[in-house]
C-alpha cells in the first residue's frame, strides 16, 4: 500500500501491469521508459528479470516520478507480472502491496479465453492477499488493436468490464506507444483520487 514519507516528502505508490502471457505488459513499461518526458534529475532505469527469450520470469520494474503535490514528490513503481500460467506464485509476490492495476488484455480473438482466465486469476490472487478488486483502482487496456484478427471492443467489454462497476478501458497498440500513456495517466488519476479530501495531513 502507499507509503507517505514525511521526512523525504514522498508519496510512493505501486502499480502492477497484469494480464495474459505475451499480451504486451512488458512492452507497456518499455514504452513508458522510452517515451516519458524526463521529470526529475535522472532517467529512470527499467529492470527486467526475464528468460533468455525475453519472457518475463519474475517481474519488470520501472520507478518513475510524476509530480509534486503540496511539496510531496509522487513516486510510482511500475511492475509487470509474468503472464504464463505456471508463474502464479510469482504473480502473487508481485501483487503484494499493490495500489493500482493496469490489466493488459490481448485483443486477438483466440486470446479471449486467456484474458478471462487471467482476469479471474488476478481476482483470486488479490483474495489470497486479503485484497478486494472492488477497493483497488484498476483500468483495462485492450492491446494489439492493430492486428487483423481482433475481437470487437464491445465483446471485450462484455467479457472483462461488465461487472457492477465499469472501469475505464483504452484501446492500445503498445508497440507503437498508442494508448500507453492514456492508460497510465487514467490509473494515476484514479489512484490519487483515493487520497483526495482525506482530513488530516499526516506529517508533523
Partner 1 sequence: MSTLPQLYEEDIHRLDDALREFIQRSDATTAMVIDKGGFLITHQGDSNSFDLTTMAALASGAYLANQTIANLVNEANFDSVYQQGETHSMLVTNIDEFCLLQVIFRAQVGVGAVKYHAGPAREAIADQLQLAQQRDPEGGLDLSVLNCADPSEFFKRKE
Of the residues 41, 52, 54, 70, which one makes contact with partner 1 according to CB under 8 A? 70
- DSSP 8-state assignment for residue 83: -
Q: Do the strands 72-80 and 56-69 form a parallel or antiparallel pair, or are they unpaired? A: antiparallel
Between 96 and 120, CB nearer to partner 1: 96
45 lines the binding site for partner 1 (CB under 8 A): yes
Query: Binding of partner 1 at residue 58 (CB under 8 A)?
Result: yes
For residue 130, what are the CA distances in angstroms to 75, 82, 125, 175, 199?
25, 21, 9, 34, 26
Measured from the CB atom, is 129 or 147 closer to partner 1? 129
Q: Is 123 in the site for partner 1 (CB under 8 A)?
A: no
For 93, the enclosing helix (H) or strand (E) is helix 88-95
Instruction: Answer yes or no whether residue 59 interacts with partner 1 by CB under 8 A.
Output: yes
* Buried-exposed string 14-44: b where 16+ CB fall within 10 A, e elsewhere: bbbbbbbbbbbbbbbbbbbbeebeeeeeeeb
Q: If binding is defined by CB under 8 A, does position 98 make contact with partner 1?
A: yes
Q: Which stretch binds partner 1 (CB under 8 A): 17-25, 96-104, 112-120, 152-160?
A: 96-104
Residue closer to partner 1 (CB basis): 148 or 200:
200
Is the Cα torsion angle 119, 183, 147, 57 positive or negative in sign?
negative
DSSP codes joined into one string, 48-63:
EEE-TTS-EEEEEEEE
Q: How far is the CB of 159 from partner 1 (least distance, A)?
A: 25
Q: Which residues bind partner 1 (CB under 8 A)?
A: 1, 3-8, 11-12, 14, 32, 35-37, 39, 45, 47, 49, 58-59, 61, 63-64, 66-67, 69-70, 72, 77, 79, 89-90, 93-94, 96-98, 129-131, 177, 181, 184-186, 188-189, 192-193, 195-204
Amino acid at each position: 500500500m502507499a507509503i507517505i514519507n514525511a521526512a523525504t516528502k514522498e508519496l510512493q505508490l505501486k502499480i502492477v501491469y497484469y494480464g495474459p502471457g505475451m499480451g504486451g505488459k512488458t512492452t507497456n513499461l518499455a514504452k513508458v521508459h522510452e517515451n516519458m518526458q524526463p521529470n526529475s534529475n535522472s532517467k529512470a532505469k527499467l529492470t527486467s528479470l526475464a528468460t533468455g527469450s525475453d519472457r518475463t520470469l519474475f517481474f519488470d520494474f520501472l520507478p518513475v516520478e510524476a509530480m509534486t503535490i503540496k511539496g510531496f514528490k509522487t513516486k510510482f513503481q511500475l511492475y509487470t507480472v509474468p503472464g504464463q500460467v505456471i508463474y502464479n506464485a510469482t504473480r502473487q509476490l508481485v501483487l503484494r502491496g499493490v495500489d493500482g492495476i493496469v490489466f493488459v488484455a490481448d485483443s486477438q480473438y483466440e486470446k479471449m479465453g486467456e484474458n478471462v482466465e487471467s482476469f479471474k486469476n488476478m481476482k483470486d490472487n488479490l483474495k489470497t492477499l486479503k485484497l478486494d478488486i472492488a477497493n483497488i483502482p484498476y483500468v483495462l487496456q485492450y492491446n494489439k488493436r492493430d492486428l487483423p484478427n481482433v475481437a470487437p471492443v464491445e465483446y471485450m467489454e462484455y467479457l472483462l468490464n461488465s461487472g457492477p462497476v465499469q472501469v475505464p478501458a483504452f484501446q492500445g497498440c503498445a508497440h507503437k506507444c498508442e494508448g500507453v500513456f492514456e492508460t497510465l495517466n487514467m490509473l494515476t488519476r484514479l489512484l490519487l483520487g483515493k487520497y483526495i479530501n482525506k482530513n488530516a495531513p499526516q506529517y508533523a
